């Protein structure tokens, strides 16, 4: 059960019809495991998203929800250019976190990041 302070903090999310109070409570109870070998930049972004979403259970060694492994090679492939690696890490970390948030809250449809997407091709 969320405290009054938590309800105030997450009021905007609670107002979303697809999330509501029940979904926010599920987020507060969720525990997420970040797979070994995940790029540290991806982990940093994912942790930030999960914390801001209200995943109060935090990141654990064992948990019901797994943030998929996103390796440095995945970041490099998605960037397509070394100058875009931080952008790729942000993109992959936020995508992975949103998928975990959807699963924890029991909302939305699962999505898969297109492995053929390359930032350098899109930007250039």
Which has the closest alpha carbon to 43: 26, 27, 59?
A: 59
Q: Which residue has the tokens 């992975």?
A: 96
pLDDT of residue 66: 87
Mean pLDDT by 10 residues, the chain (124 residues): 94 95 93 91 94 81 82 97 97 96 93 95 75
Crossing angle for the helix pair 20-29 and 85-105, nearest 10 degrees?
A: 110
Q: Which two tokens stand for residue 102?
A: 């959807």
Q: Helix 85-105 and helix 72-79: axis angle, to 10°?
A: 120
């Amino acid at each position: 059960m969320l405290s009054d302070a938590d309800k105030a903090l997450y009021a905007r999310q609670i107002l979303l019809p697809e999330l509501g109070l029940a979904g926010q409570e599920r987020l507060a109870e969720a525990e997420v495991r970040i797979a070994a070998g995940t790029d540290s930049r991806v982990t940093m972004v994912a942790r930030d998203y999960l914390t801001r979403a209200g995943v109060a259970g935090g990141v654990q060694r064992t948990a019901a929800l797994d943030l998929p492994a996103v390796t440095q090679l995945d970041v490099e492939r998605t960037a397509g250019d070394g100058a875009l690696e931080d952008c790729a890490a942000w993109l992959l970390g936020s995508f992975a976190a949103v998928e975990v948030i959807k699963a924890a809250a029991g909302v939305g449809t699962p999505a898969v990041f297109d492995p053929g997407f390359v930032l350098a091709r899109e930007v250039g």
